[in-house]
Chain A
Amino acid sequence: MKNQTLNDSTLLFFSIIMLAVVFALFTSGKYGASNRQVVDKLQDNVFISYESLYTWHSSDSKERDQLVVDLRPPEEYREGHLAGAVNIPFADLLDRSHRRTLKTNSPVWLYAGHEHVSVAALTLLLGQGFENVQVIPGNFQAIKQHVVESFDPSRAFYRDDKARWDHQRFMPLGITKEPDRKPSPAIPAPPEETPVPGGC
Chain B
Amino acid sequence: MAPLIPQGLINPELNLFFALLIGIGFGYVLEQAGFSSAKKLAGVFYGYDFVVLRVFFTAGITAMTGLLFFGYLGWIDMDLVFVNPTFLYSAITGGVIMGFGFVLGGYCPGTSIVAAVTGKKDAMVFLAGMLAGIFLFGHFYHDFEPLYTGHFLGNIFVYDSLGMSRAWFALLLVIVALLAFIITQMIEDKVNKTASDKIKERPSYKMPSMLLLTAMVVFLFLPGERSSNIRERNPGELIEKIDAGKPYVSSHRVILEIKNGRDELVLIDTRQQAEYERFTLPGAVHIPPHDILQRRWGPLFRKDLRPKIFFSNGSSNAMMAYLTAARAGYDNVFIMDGGLNKLFQELFTDTAIPDTTAYNLQDRSNARFLYEARQFFLEGGVAAKEKEERPRIKAPEESEIIPVIGGC
Q: A-side interface residues toward B, CB under 8 Å?
A: 1-4, 6-7, 10-11, 14, 17-18, 20-21, 24-25, 29-40, 42-43, 90-91, 93-94, 114-117, 119-120, 123-124, 127-129, 135, 198-200
Contact = CB atoms under 8 A, between A and B. Distances in A.
Interface of B: 65, 69, 72-73, 203, 205, 207-208, 211-212, 214-215, 218, 222, 225-229, 232, 234-236, 238-240, 242-243, 272, 274, 289-290, 292-293, 314-316, 318-320, 323-324, 327-328, 335
Residue in A43, A93, A116 with the greatest tally of chain B CB atoms within 10 Å: A116
Contacts of B316: 115-116, 119, 135
Contacts of A4: 203
A26 to B, nearest CB: 12
Contact of B218 (A18, A33, A119): A18
A130 B137 CA distance: 58
Contact of B235 (A6, A30, A40, A91): A30
Contacts of A91: 239-240, 243
The majority secondary structure among interface residues of chain A is: helix
Given A29-B226, A115-B315, A39 B324 contact: yes
Given A3-B203, A6-B208, A117 B69 contact: no
A43 B290 contact: yes
A74 to B, nearest CB: 14
A156 B158 CA distance: 47
Contacts of A198: 274
B287 to A, nearest CB: 12
Nearest to B206: A7
B205 to A, nearest CB: 8
The majority secondary structure among interface residues of chain B is: helix
Given A10-B208, A11-B211, A31 B235 contact: yes
A124 B235 CA distance: 7
A116 B319 contact: yes
Contacts of A33: 227
Nearest to A32: B227
Contacts of A29: 226-229
Contacts of B272: 199-200
Contacts of A7: 203, 205, 207-208
21 contacts: A10-B208, A24-B226, A29-B229, A30-B232, A32-B227, A34-B225, A35-B324, A35-B328, A37-B227, A39-B289, A39-B292, A39-B320, A42-B290, A91-B240, A94-B236, A114-B315, A116-B335, A119-B316, A120-B239, A120-B323, A124-B238
A127 B327 contact: yes
Nearest to B327: A35
B216 to A, nearest CB: 11
Nearest to A36: B293
A120 B319 contact: yes
A119 B208 contact: no
Nearest to A128: B235
B323 A21 contact: no
A123 B228 contact: no
B225 A36 contact: yes
Residue in B214, B228, B238, B289 with the greatest tally of chain A CB atoms within 10 Å: B228
Contact of A30 (B215, B234, B274, B323): B234
A34 B69 contact: no
B73 to A, nearest CB: 5
A93 B316 CA distance: 18
Contacts of B72: 21, 24
Residue in A2, A31, A32, A33 with the greatest tally of chain B CB atoms within 10 Å: A31
Contacts of A120: 238-239, 242, 319, 323
A21 B320 contact: no
A36 B224 CA distance: 12
A119 B320 contact: yes
A30 B228 contact: yes
A143 B55 CA distance: 68
Contacts of B292: 39
Contact of B243 (A2, A14, A18, A90): A90
A127 B229 CA distance: 12
A115 B341 CA distance: 13
Given A14-B212, A31-B227, A123-B319, 18 more contacts: A4-B203, A6-B203, A7-B203, A10-B207, A10-B211, A31-B228, A31-B235, A33-B227, A34-B225, A34-B226, A42-B290, A94-B239, A114-B315, A115-B314, A116-B316, A120-B239, A123-B324, A128-B235
